[in-house]
Amino acid sequence: MDVSTYIDAVFADIRRRDPQESEFHQAAHEVLAAIRPVLRAHPEYAEARVVERLCEPERQLMFRVPWVDDRGTVQVNRGFRVEFNSALGPYKGGLRFHPSVNLGIVKFLGFEQVFKNALTGMSIGGGKGGADFDPKGRSDGEIMRFCQSFMTELHRHLGENTDVPAGDIGVGAREIGYLFGQYKRITNRFDAGVLTGKPVGWGGSHARTEATGYGAVYFAQEMLATRGLTFEERRTVVSGSGNVAIYAIEKAYALGGTVVACSDSSGYVVDEDGIDLELLKDVKEVRRARIAEYAEARPTARFSARGSVFDVPCEVVLPCATQNELGRQDAVALVKNGVLAVSEGANMPCTPEAVEVFRDARVLFGPGKAANAGGVATSALEMQQNASRDRWTFEQTEDRLAAIMRRVHAQCRTTAETYGGDADDYVVGANITGFLRVAEAMTAQGVI
């Protein structure tokens, strides 16, 4: 069997069947390109059509979400849940509430989640969901009514051993609370492990809020260490200013870095004295305001609505906003300005062209399915605590998180060296490590 011909045929079939899902195509292409040496070594995976089965979700749900706004007007949104692969455990992945959400976006996120979850070494499959609902500017009452309607439909597909959603963009502790309350009301069960990302007071885990951002920084730290470097005094840029970005900034400071810039959809701020984390939290988490308000309150900062946060010279970049935010031109500018490491806190924030620039320049590049695996790993730790009716301290949970990220990093390097010869190729290492674990389980479980 000619592996290249086979992979090209699989990808062509994906594009033919789902022609409008460009983000899913991008995610699938990255995995398919990386696993070629695996298929040469293990032709049985191709013979059993593991790749084709892995690229097709086990179940795709799309449903109407009607709700009533504060004016008494009926609104209708569209909800999604893609249960992608359960070979390793119950479907696990977040819910995203954002106007950009569509089936292609959810499929790309769910596909990435399969490999990310496999990399953690924990018993969780991959899935993703959400709705094209925008919580920005909505009252708590409107968000509650939307969440209740959303869960009224979704609840029938969930369960601690079936599908366990969490939060994502637009879905934080408030939304998780409303979703869980409706699930409990409908089912008459306090199944704490059916949703993760809950507040600590009623079943949540310490360090879950911080986990994705912390994990991306831990992964960057491990990459830097391979070249005898540390975060100490490293000039760092973080894109975004949401949950992941805020806690990536927090951990970068804890390791001795200096974060000089962050952003939101309206522009970016540069603060040469270092981003004031408490002020940023006040602007984004309390006021829920635009990043420009940070600059207005901070004399040392400047706001720009033009250009890109990636134009700011730095040594470490943590893209923590959204998919495809960092393109080839941004990557070229970063390389020119001396970037050493890029660790993806968001899902697929770097375009394929940007990744190619980083790899050609020998910049340490941690792909999201490895670098931001800390969030889902801590969700799985929350599930463990729920199952045992236990609650760990922040320090216990963070220690587990740090150990998991070190293990993910080590696995990526070992696998990359085994199959590609270059231990620094984390794209190859992450994709192959995740694929092997899922493929072995799928093969063992038969054609299902």
3-class DSSP assignment, residue 419:
helix
**Amino acid at the residue 57:** P
| Alpha-carbon dihedral sign for residues 299, 305, 311, 315 | positive
Query: Which one-letter DSSP state was computed for residue 304?
Result: E
Catalytically annotated residue among 107, 128, 198, 369: 128
Residue 329 assigned as binding residue: no
CA–CA distance, 315 with 341 (Å, rounded to integer): 7
Is 128 among the residues known to form the active site? yes
- Using alpha carbons, select from 186, 237, 233 the residue that is nearest to residue 216: 237
Query: Is 385 assigned a ligand-binding role in the annotation?
Result: no
184 assigned to a ligand binding site: no
Pairing of strands 235-239, 258-264: parallel
Tokens of 187: 């089912």
Under DSSP, the state recorded for 11 is H
Return d(Cα 203, Cα 192) in angstroms, integer. Answer: 6
Q: How far is CA 364 from the centre of its chain?
A: 19
Query: Is 379 annotated to bind ligand?
Result: yes
Output DSSP code: residue 312.
S
Question: What DSSP designation does 347 have?
Answer: S
Which DSSP letter does residue 262 get? E
Residue 350 CA neighbour count, 13 Å, CB half: 30
Query: Is 243 labelled as part of a ligand binding site?
Result: yes
Pick out the residues of the known binding site for substrate. Answer: 92, 113, 116, 167, 379
Active site residues: 128
Pick out the residues of the known binding site. Answer: 92, 113, 116, 167, 212, 243, 379
Pick out the residues of the known binding site for NAD(+). Answer: 212, 243
